[in-house]
Structure 1
Amino acid sequence: MSDANNWTHTFVGLPKFKDNGTEIVYRVNETEVINYTVNITGDNDSFVINNTHEIQLINVTVVKVWNDGNNVSGKRPANVTVVLLADGEIVDNVTLNVANNWTHTFVGLDKFKNNGTLIKYSIAEVNVGVPGYTTVITNSTAYNWTVNNTYVPKVNKTANETKVFYHDFVLYNITITNIGTGIYNETLTIVDSLPYGLDYNKTVNITGARVIQEGIYDNESRTITWIITDIDPDVPAIIFVLVGTYDIGNLTNNVTLIGPNGFNDTVNATVEVVPIVDVSVVKTVDNSSHFVDDIVVWTIVVSNAANGTNATNVVLNDTFPPAGFILVGYNATEGTTYDMASGVWTIGFMGNGTSVTLTITSVAKQNGTFTNYANVTCNETEWNYSNNFDNATVVVVSFPINKTVSVNETYYNSNVTYNLTVSNIGNYTYTQNITVVDVLPDGIYYLRTIGVYNADVVANATQSVL
């Protein structure tokens, strides 16, 4: 029946009796009409079906649960807006806060659409979550919803020492604490930003978490990035990272924890890097090779680094001369003293960024390779002892001389020619004077020098009678 037949109908031509003569009793019934009750009245010949509209209403309850250690982080918002959706469309909203005990019931909601279709209700947070919290929405029944907000673990950073020396190391502890009640299994990204003067050395260890990505250092941005998850509420995750100190002053190191819903939290730790003494020595020789009887000049420079502190009682030990040399003199920076006998150069006080020089003059007297060593010390602890020692090496050679005769046998009163050969076996042209003395035995007399080749003659040969 419908509006077309005016909601009425007559069944015509129905038998009144059964074959056995019994009168037939007719009844009518109706299939279920959603949101309507039915009441049928009448007798065997006429029936009236009364339908009364009754709307089925339901209530939807939402409860917000904060899993944040009673707001120990101080990040919980004062209120949060949630919306009620019917088949995906927003139909209502409510602001939850302490005043309503973070709960609300939407009352008197239609259970069915007009066409009898069941309405599907759901709950959502405005702005898709609360910054710093993860959001999980569950429903125990179709009309009872719970919004669970769990705070992202808290990050903290500390240094093993707050005052360190230049060129030392600092061990940082990055601590991520789960303040919830269950294992935190969201993904967390930790980005450590190093300032100039702090250089990444290595990640020593990571405890209390499952590591998705070990520390990756980006040299251009000077950042170290780790990715972790699965943090127990009773045991914090700790990243131990070692860095070197290569600048002076207060150096602040920032670390950022990046969590769900666009959350990030940045903390920092500051260390004071103080200067420290660094005295060094450089020793050189004027030439790496010399001839016997050459003057050899040794230069020793002691410096105290500009980015260090003042050094006191600076002393250099230089055992000189080495075998094969004769010490003929020295020149030292004013205010310092050099003891030729002991080889001790007493420098005393040195301000940072200063240097002093000692020049030693000697004469080479022996063939061979000679290395002269020097080392410097001071009263203060130094960050670098590798430059406290230096040496210089020189090769000393002589001029080998060879003598040959033109004949092995000759007659009385004949001439004999001798060849004297002097060889330069060094690696540079020798420009000093060389004196060659030829002692003639009895019976042989000097006549003349035939010639001198491949050398300049300073004085011609002369004869002396011994």
Structure 2
Amino acid sequence: MEKQQEKTATLNESNNWTHTWTGLDEKAKGQQVKYTVEELTKVKGYTTHVDNNDMGNLIVTNKYTPETTSISGEKVWDDKDNQDGKRPEKVSVNLLANGEKVETIDVTSETNWKYEFKDLPKYDEGKKIEYTVTEDHVKDYTTDINGTTITNKYTPGETSATVTKNWDDNNNQDGKRPTEIKVELYQDGKSNRKNGNIK
């Protein structure tokens, strides 16, 4: 038969999380008494398993599954749609936990330049972990990090074009030369005029 033990005990570090009940009846009405134990304190985040062996040992195991989190972000390119063809095929983004690098992933256009670090421990020794990201140097680009958004900026190369008007009219002999003329600069054969007007 089974006999429910009614006594309670408090377990803590000072008693090594152990308590022994003594003077218990071994038998009742000629039958062996079976003792069980129940954990009265419900510990948040833990699951409880009780093992009752045949040697009078009652083992209560509390299992904790650590909380996890994830860190996601994206790459932003500020390079006039890769005008000069300088954008790399991939970049390496580093994850730092409390300032220490713990993981690196490559980010590409295949994921729309988005990234995510998954299944990360949320706490370390009871303290919340602070996660930040950095990026390996990208040649020809400057990097700005705002939270988990990484912006790479490239300033395309610039040039200049100078136009000079020459007059072959014998130094305006007949007084026909206008006081001014307008010219337009084309880019790759394309005009910048809108509605027939020069910008």
TM-score (norm. length: structure 2): 0.54
Residues in 2 aligned to 1:8 and 1:38: alpha-carbon distance in whole angstroms = 19
User: Displacement, 1:71?
Assistant: 0.9
**Contact 1:38 1:49 survives alignment (8 Å):** no
Candidates 23, 34, 46, aligned match of 1:37: 46
Residues in 2 aligned to 1:131 and 1:112: alpha-carbon distance in whole angstroms = 36
Provide closer, same or farther for how the CA distance between residues 28 and 97 of structure 1 changes in structure 2, counting only shifts above 3 A: closer
Does the residue aligned with 2:103 lie in a helix, a strand or coil? Answer: strand
Q: What corresponds to 1:8 in structure 2? A: 18
User: Displacement, 1:81?
Assistant: 1.1
1:137 aligns with 2:145: yes
1:69 aligns with 2:72: no
Q: What corresponds to 2:123 in structure 1? A: 112
User: Displacement, 1:40?
Assistant: 11
Q: What corresponds to 2:107 in structure 1? A: 96
User: Displacement, 1:37?
Assistant: 1.9
Does the residue aligned with 1:124 lie in a helix, a strand or coil? Answer: strand
Residues in 2 aligned to 1:96 and 1:107: alpha-carbon distance in whole angstroms = 15
Residue 17 of structure 2 aligns to which amino acid in structure 1? W
Residue 110 of structure 2 aligns to which amino acid in structure 1? A
**Contact 1:133 1:151 survives alignment (8 Å):** yes
Q: CA RMSD in A?
A: 3.2
Residues in 2 aligned to 1:37 and 1:117: alpha-carbon distance in whole angstroms = 18
Residues in 1 aligned to 2:106 and 2:61: alpha-carbon distance in whole angstroms = 44
Structure 2 gaps of 5+ residues are 1-11, 21-38, 51-58, 167-199
**Contact 2:47 2:64 survives alignment (8 Å):** no
**Contact 2:83 2:156 survives alignment (8 Å):** no
* Percent sequence identity over aligned pairs: 33
Select the structure that is richer in strand: 1
User: Displacement, 1:29?
Assistant: 4.3
Residue 140 of structure 2 aligns to which amino acid in structure 1? G
User: Displacement, 1:111?
Assistant: 0.9
Structure having greater relative contact order (Cα 8 Å, sep ≥ 6)? 2
User: Displacement, 1:58?
Assistant: 1.3
For residues 322-350 of structure 1, what are the alpha-carbon distances to aligned partners after superposition, in whole Å with 9 as ceiling and x for unaligned? xxxxxxxxxxxxxxxxxxxxxxxxxxxxx
Provide closer, same or farther for how the CA distance between residues 39 and 72 of structure 1 changes in structure 2, counting only shifts above 3 A: same
**Contact 1:62 1:123 survives alignment (8 Å):** no
Equivalences, count = 129
Does the residue aligned with 1:99 lie in a helix, a strand or coil? Answer: helix
TM-score (norm. length: structure 1): 0.25
**Contact 1:112 1:119 survives alignment (8 Å):** yes
Q: What corresponds to 2:98 in structure 1? A: 87
Residues in 2 aligned to 1:159 and 1:60: alpha-carbon distance in whole angstroms = 51
Q: Which has the larger radius of gyration?
A: 1
